[in-house]
Amino acid sequence: MLRALLLLSLSLVAAAQDNAAWKRPFPPHKIAGNIYYVGTEDLACYLLSTPQGHILINTGLADSTPLIHGSISKLGFKLQDIKIILNMQAHFDHVAAMQEIQNLSGAKVYATGADAPSLEDGGKSDPAFGPKPQFAPVKVDRRLKDGDTVALGGTELKVILTPGHSRGSVSYSTTIVDNGRKLNVLFVNMNTVVMPLVGNAKYPRIAEDFTRSFEKQRQLSPDIWVAAHASQYDMARKLKAGSFIDPEGYKKAIERHERMFYETLEKERSQKLRSE
Ligand SMILES: [Zn+2]
């Protein structure tokens, strides 16, 4: 009993620490080429600057706007120059400030066909966190399909649907030139499990989606990879080390997430068998 309580309070402390890192400011910095980090300590937001305005990927919590705005300004850019807003998964910790930033900048919001309904109803239809409203609804101007290109001012992002974590979670790949060197950069949605994999009536094909997304992600070999949470790609350590190039780390991270998925799937399947 005492041990259970101790474990519970430890996990609560861990959760509270995670949330604190979601809200703590973090120095904005260049990742490579025209890609900049403008998120909080753990909620990653990326600004891709171009001569024709900027693309912003992810927007953080409802009260993250001043932090993101401040980070963009510190780098010498203007929030008003954002033309396109994207996200990697329509969950409140990455999209709650989106409506406000859309309003302030007048940018267009692009989202995957599968995540768009959830963005537009404020997360009510999200199978993991609904039906309670999660964030201010956002109007989606363009629905993205697998293989689509998002282009602005010479920057091109390829849309790679990687559903599972959310119904429409997505990764984006692009090629940049950094110090004369061509680099492939992947904004990868790390597929963690946040809802039932077996017997999920709200998302019946969830397990198949995860399986196919991991297959796809295993085929990719980025020079630089970044994710929706800074902790997922060890941002602080790489920033200190002075380079985000890490092809080996990518393979390992995908393998680890795939293993965690199959472990959870096995556990849920055997639980279901025992209850039958
Ligand atoms: Zn999420």
DSSP string, 89-146: S--HHHHTTHHHHHHHH-PEEEEETTTHHHHHTTTTT-TTT-SS--S-----SEEE-T
Q: Which one-letter DSSP state was computed for residue 231?
A: G
| pLDDT at residue 11 in the model | 47
Instruction: Find the 102 Cα to ligand 1 centroid distance in Å.
Output: 20
pLDDT digits (tens, 9 = 90+) for 215-273: 999 999 999 999 999 999 999 999 999 999 999 999 999 999 999 999 999 999 999 88
Instruction: Find the 97 Cα to ligand 1 centroid distance in Å.
Output: 15
| pLDDT at residue 276 in the model | 79
Instruction: Find the 237 Cα to ligand 1 centroid distance in Å.
Output: 23
Instruction: Find the 90 Cα to ligand 1 centroid distance in Å.
Output: 7
* Listed residue (272, 274, 273, 219) closest to 250, CA to CA: 219
Sequence-distant (≥ 6) Cβ neighbours of residue 223 within 8 angstroms: 183, 184, 185, 245, 247
Instruction: Find the 191 Cα to ligand 1 centroid distance in Å.
Output: 9
Average pLDDT over residues 109-122: 98
CB atoms within 5 A of ion ligand 1 belong to 89, 91
Instruction: Find the 40 Cα to ligand 1 centroid distance in Å.
Output: 16
C-alpha 259/C-alpha 192 separation (Å) is 10
Instruction: Find the 190 Cα to ligand 1 centroid distance in Å.
Output: 9
Instruction: Find the 95 Cα to ligand 1 centroid distance in Å.
Output: 10
C-alpha 176/C-alpha 251 separation (Å) is 21
Instruction: Find the 230 Cα to ligand 1 centroid distance in Å.
Output: 13
* Listed residue (220, 221, 222, 224) closest to 244, CA to CA: 224
pLDDT digits (tens, 9 = 90+) for 221-232: 999 999 999 999
Average pLDDT over residues 188-193: 96
Residue 202 scores a pLDDT above 60 = yes
Average pLDDT over residues 76-85: 98
Residue 5 — very low, low, confident or very high, per pLDDT cuts 50/70/90? low
Instruction: Find the 169 Cα to ligand 1 centroid distance in Å.
Output: 9
Instruction: Find the 240 Cα to ligand 1 centroid distance in Å.
Output: 27
Instruction: Find the 91 Cα to ligand 1 centroid distance in Å.
Output: 5
Instruction: Find the 251 Cα to ligand 1 centroid distance in Å.
Output: 21
Instruction: Find the 143 Cα to ligand 1 centroid distance in Å.
Output: 19
Residue 2 — very low, low, confident or very high, per pLDDT cuts 50/70/90? low
Residue 192: which region, alpha, beta or left (left: phi > 0; alpha: psi -120 to 50)?
Answer: beta
CATH numbers and ranges of domains, the chain: 29-275 (3.60.15.10)
Instruction: Find the 41 Cα to ligand 1 centroid distance in Å.
Output: 16
Instruction: Find the 130 Cα to ligand 1 centroid distance in Å.
Output: 13
Residue 19 — very low, low, confident or very high, per pLDDT cuts 50/70/90? confident
**pLDDT higher at 19 or 42:** 42
C-alpha 178/C-alpha 62 separation (Å) is 33
Sequence-distant (≥ 6) Cβ neighbours of residue 220 within 8 angstroms: 160, 173, 186, 188, 250
Mean per-residue pLDDT of the chain: 94
Residue 185 scores a pLDDT above 50 = yes
Instruction: Find the 213 Cα to ligand 1 centroid distance in Å.
Output: 15
Instruction: Find the 181 Cα to ligand 1 centroid distance in Å.
Output: 33
In single-letter form, the type of residue at position 204 comes to: P
